[in-house]
Structure 1
Amino acid sequence: MKRLETLFFRINDILLVLLLAAMTAMVFVNVVLRYGFGSGLDISEEMSRFCFVWLIFLGAMTATRLNMHMGFDLVVMSVGPGLRRVLLTIANALVLGVCVLIIVGTLMQWHVNATNSAPVTGLPMIWVFGVALPMSMVTGLYSGLRMVGYATGRLSELPTAKQANAE
């Protein structure tokens, strides 16, 4: 199972690199065309925006795995270990709840986004907004596992990126 997880996130990291490269190339070419030749490619503006959306959501999955999301942990770090576990359990339960809301909202909007087309490329908009589904599932899975770990006492501290990479 660990190998499958590693493979999934390795593919995710490759996609992140490809999306960033594609976005950079499209914006660079469009800038050169606009300033050098007085015209640009409309498709590059739309596709770079789509790449950016995917980059954010796929990057959120990796950040969740490595526990590298930005957070305010002043209160959590200033209390004792017992209360810390309770607070971390509550925080992960809230994240899990938000992930459920994102899944439900994405599924409710699925038909609308599948029938709407992007103005330039004509792609169904579900190709843009559909990435919220795997992101919320992965983030929800990790938050649920952490919530159970804190509640049962198997996890007592915030996992660091170094610990996540070692696992």
Structure 2
Amino acid sequence: MKYIKWLDKHFEMMLISITMCSLVVIMSSQVFMRYVMNASLSWPEEISRYLFIWIAFIGISYATKGDLHLKIDILLEYVSPKIQSMFAVLRDIAIFLFSVIMVIGGIDVYNNLSGTMQTSAALGIPFKYVYLALPVGFGLTALRIIQKYILKVTQKSKLAPENKQSVEL
């Protein structure tokens, strides 16, 4: 159970960190090979592009989990906290609906690419694995939004009896 809680808290950051470290090692080896050994490799640019795509889509989920997305909040400073929370819920609903649409579209693209045997030029990686980042990233985003509201509801239900007891006293 302790491992599952840790994984829930750090899953996206762990994936992004591993992918980013791989990206740094691969690109460093390309720089070394090109400028020190005078023999550039053909595959590092390709794989770094694909790793960066995965970082971007997993990063969407990470930003959603931490509520780190860019927001224009100048208008929210002039309204009450109740209206601010209403706008936050509307924002989360919009992000959730967009995520669901992107998951459905991403699965369609993945299925279409599974039918074709298109591969990348240098490494021969099937493109379906590159495009799988879309439904995975937005699927995690949708799950994080659902998780956020499940936690809100369960925390309110835990607090509700205490509030009733304090009111009755």
Q: Which moved more, 1:9-18 or 1:77-86?
A: 9-18
Q: 1:81 matched to which residue of 2?
A: 81
Q: Distance in 1 between matches of 2:59 and 2:85?
A: 27
Q: 2:49 matched to which residue of 1?
A: 49
Gaps of 5+ in 2: 157-169
- Is 1:94 matched up with 2:124? no
The residue type paired with residue 113 of structure 1 is: L
Q: 1:12 matched to which residue of 2?
A: 12
RMSD of aligned Cα (Å)? 2.6
Q: 1:142 matched to which residue of 2?
A: 144
User: How much does 1:147 deviate?
Assistant: 6.6
- Is 1:129 matched up with 2:144? no
Q: Which moved more, 1:23-32 or 1:111-120?
A: 111-120
Q: Distance in 2 between matches of 1:84 and 1:16?
A: 31
Tell me the TM-score normalised to structure 2 length: 0.76
Residues 16-56 of structure 1, C-alpha deviations (whole Å, 9 max, x = no match): 22211111111111122222233211111111111111112
Q: Distance in 1 between matches of 2:14 and 2:146?
A: 26
When residues 53 and 121 of structure 1 are mapped into structure 2, their CA distance, relative to the original with a 3 A threshold, is: same
Task: Tell me which structure has the larger Cα radius of gyration.
Answer: 2
Q: 1:60 matched to which residue of 2?
A: 60
Q: Distance in 2 between matches of 1:134 and 1:4?
A: 19
Q: Which moved more, 1:133-142 or 1:99-108?
A: 133-142
Q: Distance in 2 between matches of 1:14 and 1:87?
A: 31
Q: 2:24 matched to which residue of 1?
A: 24
Identity %: 20
Assess if the C-alpha contact under 8 Å between 2:63 and 2:69 holds in 1: yes
- Is 1:69 matched up with 2:45? no
Q: Which moved more, 1:141-150 or 1:67-76?
A: 141-150
Residues 58-89 of structure 1, C-alpha deviations (whole Å, 9 max, x = no match): 22222211112222222223211222222122
User: How much does 1:144 deviate?
Assistant: 4.3
Number of aligned residues: 152
Gaps of 5+ in 1: 155-167
Q: 2:106 matched to which residue of 1?
A: 106
Q: Distance in 2 between matches of 1:118 and 1:8?
A: 33
User: How much does 1:13 deviate?
Assistant: 2.6
The residue type paired with residue 32 of structure 2 is: V
